Structure 1
Amino acid sequence: MSGACLANLSSISPEPSSFSPKSPIRSSLSDMDGSACPSLFPLHRCKTLHLVRHAQGFHNVAGEKDHSAYLSPELFDAQLTPLGWQQVDNLRKHVNACGLSNKIELVIASPLLRTMQTAVGVFGGGDYTDGLSVTPLMVANAGNSNRSAISSLNAPPFVAVELCREHLGVHFCDKRRSVSEYELLFPAIDFSPMETNEDILWKADVREANEEVAERGKKFMDWLWTRKEKEIAVVTHSGFLFHTLNALGKDLHPLMKEEVCKHFANCELRSIVIVDKSAIGSGNSETNYPGRIPGGLDLPSDSAPKKHSEKGASTNSLA
């Protein structure tokens, strides 16, 4: 069972109009401020995750019109729509404007067209130009996208991880291509965590249960603790995010749970902190400092005057 727990990064700031004397929100906030003490965790036991649901895919459009469309083989590994690419461009502007692009040390993507397109479009190095010596994150027109190639220049590492895929089975939009196909489309993404070239997880007649998705999400969080990076972007899917976060966020205050665990919109970014309560992650801090170097007597501030007084009395008696 996963030892990770969740904490929300965003502040709670309801509209002033919601604060009536008998408001349940006011009461809940009072409970948070008064009866619940702030939690303390060592920094090296925490990671910051910037969770992103992929932008709009063609399967989203078809499924909103007719849910049975998800069963169509024509939606196999659905790519982003033109609107989806606009959403990617808007999110890219946001992460650059708020400085997030300079903080992220690693980008993890579910190995499907729509998630990898979203990941490289938002967090990649921008348009690839001829003459660059770096490998492109995405080749031109990958997945019939009509987009230019995307550079890996000045971008963090990108890794494809199967644990953060959407519900497995039945829906053709959630079936992946072979790794060898993806490697041609996304040359700078690391596919080494993928155990098989072909998709052996997706079954045509069995849809993964919600509880199984949540359990897979816990395994994904445990895997994250094997990584040294502390600030990580994860580009994945609505169902995976919803069931994973609800499983890990059971003990959150209701207001925080509403913030963290609700369904994601297309191309929504939500930042959270996960805490390693089981100590399965790295046990070493890069910022802690032991003090008393070189060695010497450290006195608590309240005992120092007493020690000095005793020393003075001793000196006087010898005079």
Structure 2
Amino acid sequence: MTQSKWEKWKRGISNMPNIVYSSVPFSNPKKPIQLRLCCTSASLSGMDITTGPGLYPLHRCKTLHLVRHAQGVHNVAGEKDFSNYLSEEFFDAHLTPLGWQQVDNLRKHVHESGLSKKIELVIVSPLLRTMQTAVGVFGGEGYKDGIDVPPLMVENAGKSNRPAISSLNCPPFVAVELCREHLGVHPCDRRKSISEYRPIDSDEDNLWESNSREKNEEIVTRGMKFLNWLWTREEREIAVVSHSSFLYQTLSVFGNDCHPSVKSEICTHFANCELRSVVLVDRCMLGSDRATTNYPGKIPSGLDLPSDVADEKLSNDGAGN
């Protein structure tokens, strides 16, 4: 398979031919949803159970490996002068050479820690810098012509000066609009058109508005909708490559029932190319998956009455007599 086959893709975003675009409905309500965050009020003598460890059924948990994209050209320009975030020059910004170095370092960590073998799915914002980060960190090895799999990224995609990256032996990638960066006003947060994939609502970016910036509470609403959508996926270990504002505003909802130091681990801004692993817990019966590791016991059936139950039963029988 030659590179020329993929030249029909538009610019950087279309240089990711093996990333599927999700058709998750996107809505932007003005009022945030009511979050059903559960916490226990039980207590033991000398110990507040709300500050102690918690137990949850394994099949009602997903592990999310959250990643902020590596350094983009807009980050550098915005650091020098905040008004650069308003410049069309940084429309759908690509990674800097330093950003690619950050990607290489995170990729090395992901492989050395064994995380690369655990991740079953990579969810990515459909902006160039996040897709470059996701493919660089979680993609296959260098692409070679003649391999019968499409590349995740062709050579020099998005002014990267990088070799092509293969989709061989890597998890599937799904681009999802819900986990995009703060919408509106800043051209760096507006995505390019997607002409090849039609499952999404629109080829053009009709979510970004030039004169209206998304409110923080609207990002929270979008983040909660995204997390709820994750429960429809069967995968248990999922990488999410997204953006600073989206991750911060979404995570700020959580940790209120934790020790302050734990909350600070959750609710802080991400550095470029930072990876933070968290466990998403279904405490309100959102999921419907059955446990795959639980075992019912008593096979074959026999006498196995627990001693405390037997003692209680004996006491009740004695009282009845």
Partner of 1:258: 264
Give 2:209's aligned residue: 203
Shift of 1:3: 4.6
Instruction: Verify: 1:241 aligned to 2:232, yes or no.
Output: no
Shift, 1:119, TM fit: 0.1
- CA apart distance, 1:48: 0.5
Check the 8 A contact 2:70/2:133 in 1, yes or no.
yes
Contact 1:55 1:85 in 2 (8 A): yes
Matches within 5 A, 1:135-154: 135-154=150-169
**Structure-2 residue corresponding to 1:77:** 92
Residue matched to 1:231: 237
Amino acid at match of 1:228: E
Distance 1:84 1:207 in 2: 26
- The structural deviation recorded for 1:47 is 0.6
- 3-state SS of 1:222 partner: helix
Matched residues, number: 274
1:109 maps onto 2:124 in alignment: yes
Deviations for 1:205-227, whole angstroms, at most 9, x for unmatched residues?
00001111111111111001010
1:12-34 CA-to-partner distances (Å, cap 9, x unmatched) read xxxxxxxxxxxxxxxxxxx9998
Aligned with 2:152: secondary structure?
A: coil
Q: 1:296 aligns with which of 296, 302, 305?
A: 302
CA distance in 2, matches of 1:303, 1:287: 26
Q: Is 2:98 the partner of 1:92? A: no
CA displacement, residues 193-212 of structure 1 (integer Å, 9 cap, x when unaligned): x3221111000000001111
CA positional deviation for 1:2:
4.5
Distance 1:250 1:37, change over 3 A: closer
Distance 1:247 1:100 in 2: 26
What amino acid sits opposite 2:207 in the alignment?
L
Tell me the SS of whatever aligns to 1:48. Answer: strand
Secondary structure in 2 matching 1:242: helix
Please show how residues 63-74 of structure 1 align to structure 2 within 5 Å.
63-74=78-89
Change (3 A) 1:89 1:72: same
Contact 1:55 1:266 in 2 (8 A): yes
Q: Name the TM-score, length of structure 2 as normaliser.
A: 0.80
Give the conservation status (yes or no) of the 8 Å contact 2:119–2:239: yes
Q: Is the 8 A contact 1:4 1:276 kept in 2?
A: no
**1:315 maps to what in 2?**
none
Equivalence for 1:133: 148
**Paired residue type of 2:139:** G
How far has the Cα of 1:174 moved from its partner? 0.1
Counterpart code for 1:207: R
Q: Residue 185 of structure 2 aligns to a residue in which SS?
A: coil
1:303–1:278 CA distance, 2 compared to 1 (3 A): closer
1:92-138 deviation digits (Å, cap 9, x = unpaired):
00000000000001000000000000000000002101111111111
Cα RMSD (Å): 2.4
| Range with greater deviation from structure 2 (241-250 or 104-113) | 241-250
Q: Alpha carbons of 1:163 and 1:35: their partners in 2 closer, same or farther (altered >3 Å)?
A: closer
Task: Report the residue type matching 1:161 in the other structure.
Answer: V
User: What is the Cα deviation at residue 250 of structure 1?
Assistant: 2.9
1:304 is displaced (CA, Å) by 7.9
How far, CA to CA, are the matches of 1:296 and 1:105 in structure 2? 40
State how far apart, in whole Å, the 2-side matches of 1:176 and 1:166 are: 10
8 Å CA contact 1:89, 1:121 repeated in 2: yes
Change (3 A) 1:205 1:211: same
Give the whole-Å Cα distance in 2 for the aligned partners of 1:253 and 1:242: 18
Structure 1, unaligned runs of 5 or more: 7-30, 184-190, 308-319
- Once residues 195 and 5 of structure 1 are traced to their aligned partners in structure 2, the CA distance between those partners, rounded to angstroms, is 34
CA contact (8 A) 1:5 1:249 kept: no
The answer to whether the aligner puts 1:40 opposite 2:46 as a matched pair is no
2:276 aligns with 270
Q: Give the C-alpha shift of residue 247 in structure 1.
A: 1.5
Specify the structure having the higher radius of gyration (Cα).
1
Per-residue CA distance 1:218-265 (angstroms, 9 max, x = gap): 111100101011100000000001110002333332100111111110
Task: Supply the AA of the counterpart residue of 2:66.
Answer: L
Q: Which moved more, 1:290-299 or 1:59-68?
A: 290-299
Change (3 A) 1:35 1:168: closer
Higher helix share: 1
- 8 Å CA contact 1:141, 1:149 repeated in 2: yes
Verify: 1:284 aligned to 2:299, yes or no: no
| Aligned amino acid, residue 139 of structure 1 | V
Partner letter of residue 79 of structure 1? H
CA distance in 2, matches of 1:131, 1:69: 43
Match of 2:185 in 1: 170
**What SS does structure 1 have at the residue aligned with 2:169?**
coil
Q: Percent identity?
A: 68
